[in-house]
Structures are given as structure tokens and as C-alpha cells.
Amino acid sequence: MAKPIGADRKRVAVDLGTALGAEFTRLRVERGWSQSKFGELVGYDERYIRQLERGTKSPTLRTLFNIAAAFGVPVSVLINRAEKRISRH
């Protein structure tokens, strides 16, 4: 059985990669998108999206811009929120 969307979105972020991934997950869940839907919107495979959200892959600058555009926020907002996640840890 598949777990509900965002079931593990409260992951602890200890570095920029996991913090960005957690922010991607938060924004995706907030919009009600599955990882598959999110992947379609930004033009990436669902497996890659999963790796980004877990922080096991780091996005390129181009990928970061594509993701920010899909969420309708500036890249700087994603990075600032990720930095705040790290500082809270």
C-alpha cells in the first residue's frame, strides 16, 4: 500500500541537500502533487524527484530554476528556506 502524500515531510535537515529536498517535499505536498505529477511538471523522472527530495542527489542550477518556476517562487526563496531549516537543527 502506498503511503499518503507527504507522510515523511518532517525530515530533519542537516545539510543544504536534505534541507532543499525537505522544502521541495513541503511545497509539493502543499500543492497536492504526487512525485510523479511534480516530475511531469518539471520534466524529470519520478525517481530523480524522489532522490532530490531525500537529499541523495543535488540539483543542478538549471534544475533548481526549473523547480522554482514550477512552484512559482524565486530560487532565492528555496535557498533561504533551506538555510533556515539547517539553522533550526
Q: Where are the domains of the chain?
A: 16-88
Q: What is the mean pLDDT of the chain?
A: 89
Q: In the chain, pLDDT over 70 holds for what percent of residues?
A: 84
Rounded to an integer, the average pLDDT of 60-89 is 94
Residue 38 in this model has a pLDDT that exceeds 60: yes
Residue 71 in this model has a pLDDT that exceeds 80: yes
55 vs 9, more confident: 55
Distance CA 54, CA 21 (A): 6
- pLDDT value of position 58: 93
- pLDDT value of position 88: 79
The structural architecture, per CATH, of the domain 16-88 is Orthogonal Bundle (1.10)
